[in-house]
Chain A
């Protein structure tokens, strides 16, 4: 799996289970947390087994990102457009949550394939809500206009207290991500990963992809932005999105990829760390085997008597090599 999937596996599983289990009502009250502090709370009550109450909490917005009633611009319209009659928005939302929806499972289409499409849509609620303003801007790009009443630079929240920036123009949208990581190793890996990323974009196969730049200092587009928002320890990544990238069905994919770019990078940083550790372990194993082969028979015998284990030796070396 190279990209993160848009529908939440957990929500999808609960919804599908509920459809299959029919009218057997069980009380469900559970919560789950996704990357970047998106929290879900799912409730089914015994009395209404076909009604799911889903509450969503969004990441805490930094001051530069503007929210409307706690939701990103156009989120309510996007929900209504995506789900139609199946979903009813409850106002005000539950305590500690930004959005509460009532999902009526009896109103789902009866055809299995269509129903699965709607369920997947519901499970992708994150994309619908957080991606709403992005989608709005990109839709205007597809028709080569600039959305009315939009500033020259739009900040959108994507992580707790962090936002990324869009500079919409009629023929292109420039997207800038300040990249921040906590761990010092992560910072180094992410920086080189991003430089490779820009390098990889130059290969012939990716000629049509959005152009991509990385710089250690804020790019010109971000002039005049509050200095706090520009404090990034792994540099800045800039994508330039053209109308051809958001035509028709490509739009949804583009929105999701842009929205989760930071999560994507951090996922791959973790994967490469894991891969490196695997290789280190394998290397240590082979070195120990080489050492073992070099031992004389007398030494081997002594070792057995004293009971020092092969395993412990391997652990010790591994620990050293990782630091």
Chain B
């Protein structure tokens, strides 16, 4: 059986979570934290004592190169035993530790998906601002170590855009209307790592207009934890970050107006204040935490970043606007019309409404100004923030859709290409080679 007859493997390795699965499915098979717990007691020893090292390992009944865990297992092993240390191979959206990344892939392939990498094509994703060298490294590991027959490295934002497109198309088929735009839009990708605003026109990324936003999902978590602690809630220090993360995922939402929200909370605390109960890990004593303003203040850092970080004060809507303004002038209307959200941190309730209102306000003001200055009547600009329920794994879904088409297998870098030309075939991505 030819590898192209089997479904391709789609990996979307994010800073916080990795999504693993097969093309053609609508959901990833596994969503696990991108962490690796390694047993370091036998690693990092100097070359001279390598034979002694081997003997020590042998006597301890350990194979150091296989003694590691990924995902949730890594977290639980890290907590329960002092032997392991936790490593995250991806920081701020980019892989910075290739050894750990290789191990992570090894376990995800053999232990999670349980497939033979020689039998499947692979689709990996990559941040829009990552270096050609990192793509080269990716190709090298995939072809050399795992012997994959074909590899495609796709840009995350293009995949999120096609995910939104595919989702809307599936809806419009039912309603039998075809008002969906083509592959043009602004992707607002906010995950746990480095958020980016990426304009895509006809499937090509406009590289010069990519903007990055310094605050991400992990900053929201940090901020929620900070707020809870400042208010005097007693959080066990070991678990504080974890609790803040879960509070964020369950209770946080985006209000339309922050002042009104404070009033609402003050007038009816019983309705808005939530409780979080858990058990202290060390002592086993149950405790509860009150969650009040944190519920809406957490996501507010995207609209008022100065609350959290003094060095950065441009709100997200303004940044999106300036991103579109820096794109070629004939694409701007289409870009405003299709602003696609992607990444887990955009899942807050009403996040898209707030974003849409704020951007609309900026755009309308600009249009009114133009009208007044030139005494003309410009057609109003349509602003539309697209939201769909699969935002948290939109990149993976886009990858799954892309890799299940027949053209996919023709676009892949194949093993033969790699052996002929080397890792340099992975350096460039065609999506950056548009006419813009």
Contact = CB atoms under 8 A, between A and B. Distances in A.
A88 B265 CA distance: 55
Interface of A: 1-2, 4-5, 8-10, 13, 29-37, 60, 160, 182-183, 186, 263, 266-267, 270-275, 277-278, 281-282, 311-312, 315, 318-319, 322
B114 A281 contact: no
Considering the complex of A and B, which 7 residue pairs feature the smallest CB-CB distances, nearest first? A35-B116, A30-B25, A275-B65, A274-B145, A34-B114, A278-B99, A273-B145
Given A37-B119, A182-B118, A274-B103, A10 B140 contact: no
Contacts of B118: 182-183
A178 B27 CA distance: 38
A27 B158 CA distance: 28
B42 to A, nearest CB: 12
Given A31-B24, A277-B144, A319-B423, A36 B102 contact: no
A277 B423 CA distance: 15
B141 interface: yes
Interface string B95-135: 00011001100110011111111111000000000010100
B111 to A, nearest CB: 6
A8 B115 CA distance: 11
B7 A31 contact: yes
B66 interface: yes
A312 B140 CA distance: 14
Contacts of A281: 98-99
B397 to A, nearest CB: 13
Contacts of A263: 116
B73 to A, nearest CB: 9
B136 interface: yes
B251 interface: no
Contacts of A319: 140, 422-423
Interface residues of B, number: 42
A38 to B, nearest CB: 9
B202 interface: no
Interface of B: 1, 6-7, 22, 24-27, 29-30, 63, 65-66, 98-99, 102-103, 106-107, 110-120, 131, 133, 136-137, 140-141, 144-147, 422-423
Contact of B1 (A10, A13, A160): A160
Nearest to B118: A182
A108 B143 CA distance: 44
B110 A33 contact: no
A277 B116 contact: no
Given A35-B114, A36-B116, A182-B118, A322 B29 contact: no
A49 to B, nearest CB: 17
A83 B144 CA distance: 42
A33 B98 CA distance: 27
8 contacts: A30-B26, A31-B25, A32-B22, A37-B6, A273-B144, A277-B141, A277-B144, A311-B133
A270 B25 contact: no
A4 B115 CA distance: 11
Contact of A34 (B30, B107, B115): B115
A188 to B, nearest CB: 13
A311 to B, nearest CB: 5
Contacts of B65: 271-272, 274-275, 278
A278 B102 contact: yes
A60 B1 contact: yes
